[in-house]
Amino acid sequence: MTTVRNYLSLIKFSHSIFAMPFALIGFFLGLTATTWGFSVVPGWHVIIYPWKEIIGLFLLVILCMIFARSAAMAFNRYLDRNFDAKNPRTAIREIPSGIISANNALVFTVVSSFLFIITCYFINRICFFLSPIALLVVLGYSYTKRFTPLCHLILGLGLSLAPIGAYLAVTGHFSLLPILFSFAVIFWVSGFDVIYALQDEEFDKSQRLYSMPAWVGKRKALKISELMHLISAACIVFAGWYGRFGWLYWIGVAIFIGMLIYQHSIVKPNDLKRVNIAFMTANGIASVVFAAFVIADILVNY
């Protein structure tokens, strides 16, 4: 059990709370999609799936999320192990502290990647063919901090695959509505990752690593984060209008936007004491509560 806890800590399993709810949104949108239309709007007929097929597909989608994220996080920890060892904030992580060896973390990455591709194979053809591209994005993110301050957007792009991927798992084709949710995820995740990176501004500068705070400073980085979250909120609002969602959806929107405003109200350039509250608590509530209201709206109105 200790080994399991160590690996769960290595991949920060609790952070699944960010992308998983959006994957569930994509999954339920897929269940209510037509097989012939490009867009998903209320009033279109519903595909009837046997319950066993729905449950099986749901479990495969969850496994895909777990394997992809596990591979991405383990590889990030493997690649950044030397930087983590130098940074007082991250020196206690599993690899620099010697709890998990670098080689074992790399093996864990390879196994998780393989299981992700195999799971996609059992979902459908398009998910299987696109699985290497998805892995390229989520694994490639770990290199980006070495050459671009846009690394935050690449992280957002990786997590934004959740609603599209889950929708593809159900329908086998792309649609505009889950893409809108994916754009919301890109800018939401990028925005709060900029906030999280405020803690390492000086360290990133000393190691010649690229991040938004290291590039433009804390104050301007926070402004960029605010802009990203404004775009995310706009995508959520547009998705609600385009999808003609009901009142439950808009309650979720209000809570989601409220959490964005809250996290910016408690983090200041000269006061980073509550960064972890903004990062984990506010965004965890934003994703879980928003997804709950969206899914409830889908079930009630579609």
pLDDT by residue (tens digit) across 110-149?
A: 999 999 999 999 999 999 999 999 999 999 999 999 999 9
User: What would you report as the CA-atom Rg of the chain, rounded to the nearest whole angstrom?
Assistant: 19
HEC readout, 3-43: HHHHHHHHCCHHHHHCCHHHHHHHHHHHHCCCCCCCCCCCC
pLDDT greater than 80 at residue 65: yes
Quote the DSSP letter at residue 100.
Answer: S
pLDDT greater than 50 at residue 44: no
User: Which 3 state secondary structure label does DSSP give 268?
Assistant: strand
Quote the DSSP letter at residue 174.
Answer: -
Q: How far, in Å, are 20, 21, 178, 251, 255 from residue 248 at the CA level? A: 20, 16, 18, 5, 11
Q: Which tokens belong to 262?
A: 């809250």
Locus of tokens 């459908």:
124
The pTM for the full model equals 0.92
Provide the percentage of residues in the chain whose pLDDT is more than 90. Answer: 81
User: Which 3 state secondary structure label does DSSP give 136?
Assistant: helix
**19-38+50-301: what fold?**
Tetracycline Repressor; domain 2 (1.10.357)
Q: How far, in Å, are 198, 219, 293 from residue 255 at the CA level? A: 25, 26, 10
Among 8-12, 148-152, 251-255, whose mean pLDDT is lowest? 8-12
pLDDT greater than 90 at residue 156: yes
Q: What is the mean pLDDT of the chain?
A: 91
Q: How far apart are CA 91 and CA 112, in angstroms?
A: 24
Which runs of consecutive H residues, i.e. helices, occur in the chain?
2-10, 20-31, 51-79, 81-86, 102-123, 125-144, 151-171, 176-197, 201-206, 212-216, 218-243, 247-266, 275-276, 283-301
Q: How far apart are CA 249 and CA 254, in angstroms?
A: 9
Domains in the chain: boundaries: 19-38+50-301
CB 87 within 8 A of CB 97: no
Using alpha carbons only, give the angle 132, 109, 77 rounded to the nearest 5 degrees. 115
Using alpha carbons only, give the angle 275, 108, 93 rounded to the nearest 5 degrees. 35
Name the band, by pLDDT with cuts 50, 70 and 90, for residue 50. Answer: low
Q: Which tokens belong to 56?
A: 């099986």
Confidence at residue 36, expressed as pLDDT on a 0 to 100 scale:
33
Q: How far apart are CA 281 and CA 277, in angstroms?
A: 5
Residue 24 Cα to chain centre, angstroms: 12
Quote the DSSP letter at residue 47.
Answer: P
